[in-house]
Structure formats: C-alpha cells, structure tokens
Amino acid sequence: MPAWLTSLSRFLIILTMVVGQLGLIIPIFPGNVVIWGAALVYGILFGFGKLGGILFAIISLLMLAAVTADNLLMGAKAREKGAAWSSIIAALAAGVVFTFVFPPIGGLIAAPLILYLMEFRRIGESQQATEIVKALMLGLGLSFVARFLLGLLMIGLWGAWAYWG
C-alpha cells in the first residue's frame, strides 16, 4: 500500500473512532460499536499480528460490555427502587422500538413513560412510580459514563496496537 494511502486509511480510522466516541453523547448512537468496527477495519487493512489479535479481543469484550451497560445499569437502578421485572422489560422494549419509530429521542421518551405507567398501574402511587423513573434515568446517566470510559479505553488499546503492533 502506498504511503499516502496508509496515512489516509489511518486518518479515516482515527476520525471514525472520534465520531464514535463523540456520538456516545446521543444515547441511541452505537458509538462503541463504531469504534470496534474501526478497529476491525484497521486489523483487516494492516494485519492483526499477535499483539493486535490480543488487543482486538479485549476491544471486542469492552464493546460487548459497553452495549450491555445501558440495559443493565438502567434496569438495575429501577429494580433497586422496586420496579417489577415486567415493567423494566416493557420499558426497555418500548425504548428500543420507539428509538426506531421516532429517532433520535423516541426511546428516551417512551422508556420512562412506559415504566411510569406500568408501575403506577401496578402500585397505584404516583410518587413511588416517579421515584422508579428517576432511578431509571440515573441508570441512563451512569451507563453514559460507563460507555464513554469504555470507548476511551477501546481507543487507547487500538492506539497501543497501532503504535507497537
């Protein structure tokens, strides 16, 4: 591969990773998957090698952790406040569906609304249902922090791979 094409390829991979990282600000944007995809493309273009294979495996595990962070942290926080599993699952399902029906904020509106309505119907108390929704939103904030930090770690590992690999 000519030097200019190598440089251009690396620049585009870095740019894609930065877009993935910044895209994490938007809750529905799969920034960690974008970062992982850029690392995969790097491996395909420039070779994995022993170090690259190990680091890519770690990057893959971090990506899987990041994609599950939303559901785990949001559901765990709502459950801590007493939400029923059926309400949590319905809220997360509504979040996914309405993210595609009314992007980009449909899921952000639907998930807490469904959770509130189901919990209010179940327990009959607005204050308790509101506390459960607040816990869900706290879980969303924590998941953003987790996904953002995992994204930085993924980019750092790729940087080590690109430098030493």
DSSP string, the chain: --HHHHHHHHHHHHHHHHHHHHHTTSTT--HHHHHHHHHHHHHHHH--HHHHHHHHHHHHHHHHHHHHHHHHHHHHHHHHTT--HHHHHHHHHHHHHHHHHSTTTHHHHHHHHHHHHHHHHHH--HHHHHHHHHHHHHHHHHHHHHHHHHHHHHHHHHHHHHHH-
* Residue 65, pLDDT score: 97
* Residue 127, pLDDT score: 97
Residues 115-131 have pLDDT tens digits of 999 999 999 999 999 99
Residues 49-78 have pLDDT tens digits of 999 999 999 999 999 999 999 889 999 999
* Residue 162, pLDDT score: 96
Question: Could you tell me the residue range of the domain that residue 133 belongs to?
Answer: 3-164
Q: How many domains does the chain have?
A: 1
